[in-house]
Amino acid sequence: MTDILRVAVIGAGRMGVDHIQRIHARIQGAEVAAVVDVDLARAQAAIEGIPGAVALADAEEALNNGDVNAVLIATPGFLHEEILLKALAKDLPILCEKPLTPDAASAWKIVEAEKELGHQRIQVGFMRRFDAEYAALGAMIRSNELGELLMLHHQHRNPTTPPGFTNEMLINDSVVHEFDAVRFFTGEEITSVQVRLGKATRNAPAGQHDPQHVLIETESGVLADVEIYVNARFGYEVATQASFEDGIVNIGADHGPYTRANGRWGGTVTPGFEERFAAAYDVEIQAWVNAALRNGIGGPSAWDGYATAACCEAGVEAQKNGQKVPVKLNPKPAIYN
Amino acid sequence: MTDILRVAVIGAGRMGVDHIQRIHARIQGAEVAAVVDVDLARAQAAIEGIPGAVALADAEEALNNGDVNAVLIATPGFLHEEILLKALAKDLPILCEKPLTPDAASAWKIVEAEKELGHQRIQVGFMRRFDAEYAALGAMIRSNELGELLMLHHQHRNPTTPPGFTNEMLINDSVVHEFDAVRFFTGEEITSVQVRLGKATRNAPAGQHDPQHVLIETESGVLADVEIYVNARFGYEVATQASFEDGIVNIGADHGPYTRANGRWGGTVTPGFEERFAAAYDVEIQAWVNAALRNGIGGPSAWDGYATAACCEAGVEAQKNGQKVPVKLNPKPAIYN
Amino acid sequence: MTDILRVAVIGAGRMGVDHIQRIHARIQGAEVAAVVDVDLARAQAAIEGIPGAVALADAEEALNNGDVNAVLIATPGFLHEEILLKALAKDLPILCEKPLTPDAASAWKIVEAEKELGHQRIQVGFMRRFDAEYAALGAMIRSNELGELLMLHHQHRNPTTPPGFTNEMLINDSVVHEFDAVRFFTGEEITSVQVRLGKATRNAPAGQHDPQHVLIETESGVLADVEIYVNARFGYEVATQASFEDGIVNIGADHGPYTRANGRWGGTVTPGFEERFAAAYDVEIQAWVNAALRNGIGGPSAWDGYATAACCEAGVEAQKNGQKVPVKLNPKPAIYN
Amino acid sequence: MTDILRVAVIGAGRMGVDHIQRIHARIQGAEVAAVVDVDLARAQAAIEGIPGAVALADAEEALNNGDVNAVLIATPGFLHEEILLKALAKDLPILCEKPLTPDAASAWKIVEAEKELGHQRIQVGFMRRFDAEYAALGAMIRSNELGELLMLHHQHRNPTTPPGFTNEMLINDSVVHEFDAVRFFTGEEITSVQVRLGKATRNAPAGQHDPQHVLIETESGVLADVEIYVNARFGYEVATQASFEDGIVNIGADHGPYTRANGRWGGTVTPGFEERFAAAYDVEIQAWVNAALRNGIGGPSAWDGYATAACCEAGVEAQKNGQKVPVKLNPKPAIYN
């Protein structure tokens, strides 16, 4: 294959622009070849200062551009399926922002298409796996140095939600990260999801029930839970406490300069996920580029995208009925082993 | 009343001896007048070096001793009912180690006896309320400075369990503290309890399922939970994270000298509850003494003992059926308002 | 001797009142028998609610009061000498707030008077030795578990200074605590003091040079230093970092509830020394009472008071000449070994 | 100029190899064109897997190689002068690992050569300026949000020293970083250096006096100090506490997963400077590349290299005489303003 990835970035919104700048300024072995957005002006703005990149309004045109040999999909989730299938048809390396697709049925179509292709081409953008602390905790779990992992407690807090954010999106867009994290940490599939709705904050827009408490179980019985609070005001926080047989491990603690002033000790809370996971995004994209240059993937697969989509479906159902809802998965195709 | 409390300590086991030393060496306004233990030698050993104290084998004898004007009960829980009723009959100030009694029905008898007496005489030994950080968190909740309290996440870990420790005791002796803490923090009654049993540690003796995840709801819908792990090996830990509308507060963090040595940064984990709550016990007993000298109580009441006993019953049932079990309480007598 | 200390508290200012309340409410084995203040109204206000205590305007009257069998001196330092000599003449147990006396010559007179008496009667109020973390660090040093102690870095910050506070007082009233701490930690005498004056804060009143950097050496060559800043505004802070051959240990870290709110993580700085060392004062006075009831002292001696006075004299000289000033001590009388 | 930096890395030792891998794997806009080492085998090993790079034994050959348009110098300091002058003569962008040269006189020759060239070409490898926390503290100082900076306390600890490490190297190779840090934080020149030698560790090889306490003053009177301990065993630590008029700020705190196990709370100390400053090196080299592509420098200048060399000379003299030694600098040439 080539020695440089010429990437078409599909979608020039917040995440797309972030990735464009990343690839342009910090990633080795890749260049931005094309930026696609239905709003062409947005695509044009995004390529400013990037020599050799073209702005397009149509994704298909980008895929047919001879200068493009890889695709990064950063459009809203409901648009992923069509582009994924087209890019797979061309056997291009794909980095697809999460979610793979918005539901398990469509995600399964992607898995089947990739299975037919006979090898993995799709990496899904669960960037937390590339965070240094996530990686360290994963390594500690696999090492068994503190015995078996028994419980996982997750805190996930966002300062605010964008207009139109719904209860379903709280599961599909936010808790989906913890579904992936639980699968990543345990190396197991999730078997059930339950959701507790209690006292709600006055900070949430009408229609949202916030916070929520999500209870998760895995194949071996690891009890995980997530305190998800998406209108927490004070800043962004993602933290995990893992309880082992012989000890506990916390990741996601606050850091940065430690100040004593005005009668307070402490520091500044990270304002959002971009700041919290800036380094993780860099590592993620570099891992994808390195792997794609060797015809592989360097992170979560389409199977991971499908399995988390199934968890999300169970989570949304559990939100509504208050019960423990089982997660049902099709058998895993061999290319994902 | 008198200007000094002459206390009969009933029970010269671990907690009894601890309280005897406390009253002797650190508490103002109280003295140890008598120590009672069915094992008289143990009572005699406990009064060594305490001038003016007598060792007895029979609690009734202590209550009838003219030199005694207050009672501290530190026997096993199943013996509390009889002594409580006798001490109430004499209208003595009583500090009763938790639990008030082992079940809701017998606890209710105590409540009724006190109700008949017409005023409160019994303080129950939930010492955590007297911990400086518990008190500070309680004050923050009542101040509403971070908005309404929404969730309470509790971690409760013991290094090991004594011989004969059962699943029921995990609820009745350990989680009972969190039942009281949730009631203390929210100022509300608990309405339901659910228990999740997942992957179990190899560290637990046969017959114990450890750890467990206890889910609690209160009248206003505050979602509380408890990660209880009683064979955690690494030390003792009690911590709470309170989530408010506008922020979160953690108490129970590790402290003490901070060391960098041998490739590690950090410090020493508190080995057990005596060390963790040493100051809280002092404050608790002093508060009781001060209140008793003014004919009142200075902490959790018999009602608190009864209500937590009802939570424990629900908790034990929930352990067995995996369901959300409602907590049912009799109406609260007026003397507790 | 008696089984209860009947204490005359000399001086009903801030520290005096604090000790009166402490002895009345929290200390076992001691009672307030008399309170002396030249402002009799102040003495009278201080004994309110303390049965059996008398208010007096004259210290000698208190010493002659048959009901008094111990003395706690909490007057300004320049008044200590006279009362100390009179109380020594009566062979009473004495707790003398620091400084013993304001200068080495007068302190030496006290040492000589006690030496003539033939046994120790004076305990000096360096309360930090009774702080749990100071004690823990002291124990780590003596254990040699991290090898030899090599350096001691001290931070000492006060929010503000009272009217009339001078550069000399910065040494005599503030750094004096670190002179004692260095002697306590190392178990050695201080051999020299140097003071660096650099850029000064706008927060200090005219005439004060603040902050200052004090360099200290001990007999074995331990290099200690103190960053003293007495108009630091943000709160009160006393912290020490000890560097050993094989590791470092910090004490004095911030603690208390940990909050995430308003874009900040952290907690509240202790506002002053009373809050920071509240528990240490209790332990100190209880240790004094316990020891006095057995005719001894339970903390820093008159020798410690004398040696720190000599350090202060060297410190004030060093402030003025910028040089390393040696500390000269008379030979230590045998009663202090 | 070109749109890609083709870098000759001079020196394939520890730092050289580190930079070669960095440029190859993580830096945008630069490639390794040549690696020079007197030990040709070492140069050949270093280019393995790097297409387009050549291995050479002679630096001059690299500079004359038409494919090379930039130089990164990672040889021992005493070899820098010759290569610097040759690379300057070719007007190439230069990243020179610290020290610029080993002494102020030779460093001044470099400054004069660059002055003659008429523009800056040399960036010196003080990587700490590129650490996120150093940068944050620098920004806080410049913002004046906590008032004027008054004091800077530095801790600098290395686990061990390589064979042949001397007292002079403790200043020239280790404390040199703090000389630069003090200049970076204050934006001022250092005016004097004093060194305190106290009790020494048994961990140091014969001939080394370790630890040492270095006292630094700046033009406006900021009092800085450095606790330098290069045989600290426990790991690597670089931390700074800045005292302002209205508060204090600490950087360099320990971080990473927080564990409770085996009776201890805490985490793992960073083992060495490569791990501690890995991200800073990446940012530093990327900043150099970006600036060099625009014909500038993106970090500390040759003047910074000269000024710190002068501080080191004063420091080594101060080590010997125990006095406060003034730092004397030639006037700063205009190209550095």
- Say yes or no for a CB contact (<8 Å) between C248 and D234: yes
**Which residues in chain D touch residue B235, judged by CB atoms under 8 angstroms apart?**
260, 263
- Say yes or no for a CB contact (<8 Å) between D265 and B260: no
Per-residue pLDDT of chain A (337 residues; tens, 9 = 90+): 458 999 999 999 999 999 999 999 999 999 999 999 999 999 999 999 999 999 999 999 999 999 999 999 999 999 999 999 999 999 999 999 999 999 999 999 999 999 999 999 999 999 999 999 999 999 999 999 999 999 999 999 999 999 999 999 999 999 999 999 999 999 999 999 999 999 999 999 999 999 999 999 999 999 999 999 999 999 999 999 999 999 999 999 999 999 999 999 999 999 999 999 999 999 999 999 999 999 999 999 999 999 999 999 999 999 999 999 999 999 999 999 9
Helix, strand, coil distribution of chain A in percent, nearest 5: 40, 25, 35
**Which residues in chain C touch residue D186, judged by CB atoms under 8 angstroms apart?**
none
Phi, psi of A271 (to 5 degrees): -75, -30
Alpha carbon dihedral D39, D40, D43, D49, in 10-degree steps, equals -150
Which pLDDT score, from 0 to 100, does residue D3 have?
83
| Cα C56–chain centre separation | 26
Beta bridge partners of C224: C152, C216
DSSP state of A171: I
- Say yes or no for a CB contact (<8 Å) between D237 and B260: yes
Percent of chain C predicted with pLDDT > 90: 99
Q: Does residue B6 sit in helix, strand or coil?
A: strand
- Say yes or no for a CB contact (<8 Å) between C199 and D234: no
What is the DSSP secondary-structure string of B208-264?
A: ---SEEEEEEETT--EEEEEEES--SS--EEEEEEEESSEEEEE----S-EEEETTE
Interface test with C, best of A265, A269, A276 (most C CBs within 10 A): A265
Looking at CA atoms only, how far is residue B123 from chain C in angstroms? 20
**Which residues in chain D touch residue A251, judged by CB atoms under 8 angstroms apart?**
257-258
Looking at CA atoms only, how far is residue D37 from chain B in angstroms? 34
The tokens describing A335, both together, are 């290319």
- Say yes or no for a CB contact (<8 Å) between B286 and C137: no
CB A100 within 8 A of CB A108: no
- Say yes or no for a CB contact (<8 Å) between C249 and B257: yes
Range 230-289 of D in CB contact (< 8 A) with C: 232-234, 237, 241, 243, 245-248
Q: Does residue B271 sit in helix, strand or coil?
A: coil
CATH number for the region D128-276+307-336 comes to 3.30.360.10
- Say yes or no for a CB contact (<8 Å) between D245 and C148: no
Chain C residue with minimum CA distance to B251? C257
For residues B289-318, give the mean pLDDT: 97
CATH number for the region C129-279+307-336 comes to 3.30.360.10
Beta bridge partners of A240: A154, A251
Strand order in C122-124's β-sheet?
A: C54-56, C30-36, C5-10, C70-73, C94-96, C122-124
Q: Which chains touch A (3 or more CB pairs under 8 A)?
A: B, C, D
CA torsion sign for C117, C121, C124, C129 is positive
Query: Distance (Å, rounded) from C-alpha A292 to C-alpha A276?
Result: 26
Q: Which chains touch D (3 or more CB pairs under 8 A)?
A: A, B, C
Chain D residue with minimum CA distance to A132? D256
Looking at CA atoms only, how far is residue A98 from chain B in angstroms? 28
**Which residues in chain A touch residue B264, judged by CB atoms under 8 angstroms apart?**
none
- Say yes or no for a CB contact (<8 Å) between C261 and A237: no
Interface test with C, best of A258, A264, A275 (most C CBs within 10 A): A264
pLDDT band at B1 (very low <50, low <70, confident <90, very high): very low
Which pLDDT score, from 0 to 100, does residue C3 have?
83
- Say yes or no for a CB contact (<8 Å) between D258 and A260: no
Interface test with A, best of C264, C275, C276 (most A CBs within 10 A): C264
**Which residues in chain D touch residue C248, judged by CB atoms under 8 angstroms apart?**
157, 232, 234, 237
Nearest CB among C51, C250, C279 relative to B257 is that of C250
Query: Distance (Å, rounded) from C-alpha D112 to C-alpha D126?
Result: 21
Burial environment of residue C329 by CB neighbours within 10 A (0 to 12, 13 to 18, 19 or more): middle
- Say yes or no for a CB contact (<8 Å) between A133 and D259: no
**Which residues in chain A touch residue C263, judged by CB atoms under 8 angstroms apart?**
234-235, 268-269, 271
Which pLDDT score, from 0 to 100, does residue B151 have?
98
Looking at CA atoms only, how far is residue B236 from chain D in angstroms? 9
- Say yes or no for a CB contact (<8 Å) between B267 and D264: yes
The tokens describing B317, both together, are 């049932």
Q: What is the ipTM of this complex?
A: 0.95
Sole residue written with tokens 């085998």: D41
- Say yes or no for a CB contact (<8 Å) between A200 and B150: yes
Which pLDDT score, from 0 to 100, does residue C1 have?
45
The tokens describing C65, both together, are 């009061």
- Say yes or no for a CB contact (<8 Å) between B266 and D267: yes
Low-confidence ranges of chain C (pLDDT < 50): 1
Of the candidates A40, A42, A94, the residue with the CA atom closest to the CA atom of residue A72: A94
Which pLDDT score, from 0 to 100, does residue B18 have?
97
Q: Which CATH class is domain C5-127+280-300?
A: alpha beta
The tokens describing A159, both together, are 């300062």
Distances (CA, A) of A147 to A184, A242, B91, B270, D264: 18, 12, 53, 21, 16
Whether domain A128-276+308-336 has CATH 3.30.360.10: yes
Whether domain B5-127+280-301 has CATH 3.40.50.1970: no
Q: Which chains touch C (3 or more CB pairs under 8 A)?
A: A, B, D
Which pLDDT score, from 0 to 100, does residue A1 have?
45
The tokens describing A122, both together, are 């799709």
**Which residues in chain C touch residue D223, judged by CB atoms under 8 angstroms apart?**
196, 198-199, 213
CB atoms within 10 A of CB D61: 14
Q: Which chains touch B (3 or more CB pairs under 8 A)?
A: A, C, D
Which pLDDT score, from 0 to 100, does residue A286 have?
97
Which pLDDT score, from 0 to 100, does residue B3 have?
83
List chain C domain ranges.
5-127+280-300, 129-279+307-336
> Per-residue pLDDT tens for D206-230?
999 999 999 999 999 999 999 999 9
CB D68 within 8 A of CB D61: no
Alpha carbon dihedral D281, D282, D288, D294, in 10-degree steps, equals -170
**Which residues in chain A touch residue C237, judged by CB atoms under 8 angstroms apart?**
260
Residue C48, chain B, CB below 8 Å: the answer is no
For residues D308-331, give the mean pLDDT: 98
Query: Distance (Å, rounded) from C-alpha C107 to C-alpha C86?
Result: 14
Distances (CA, A) of C56 to C8, C61, D138: 10, 7, 58
Of the candidates C24, C276, C18, the residue with the CA atom closest to the CA atom of residue C128: C276
Query: Distance (Å, rounded) from C-alpha B37 to C-alpha B9?
Result: 9
Distances (CA, A) of B15 to B21, B22, B53, D308, D337: 10, 10, 18, 64, 73
Distances (CA, A) of B337 to B105, B182, B301: 21, 18, 11
**Which residues in chain B touch residue D260, judged by CB atoms under 8 angstroms apart?**
234-235, 237, 254, 269
Looking at CA atoms only, how far is residue B267 from chain D in angstroms? 5
> Per-residue pLDDT tens for C73-86?
999 999 999 999 99
**Which residues in chain D touch residue A247, judged by CB atoms under 8 angstroms apart?**
259-262
pLDDT at D1 over 50: no
Which pLDDT score, from 0 to 100, does residue B215 have?
98
Chain C residue with minimum CA distance to D198? C221
**Which residues in chain D touch residue C223, judged by CB atoms under 8 angstroms apart?**
196, 198-199, 213
User: Which listed CATH number (3.30.360.10, 2.30.30.220, 3.40.190.10, 3.30.465.10) goes with B129-279+308-336?
Assistant: 3.30.360.10
Sole residue written with tokens 């080539």: A2
CB atoms within 10 A of CB C262: 12
Nearest CB among D28, D137, D261 relative to A27 is that of D28
Nearest CB among B237, B260, B264 relative to D264 is that of B264
**Which residues in chain B touch residue A227, judged by CB atoms under 8 angstroms apart?**
151, 153, 243
Interface B:C, Cβ pairs < 8 A = 78
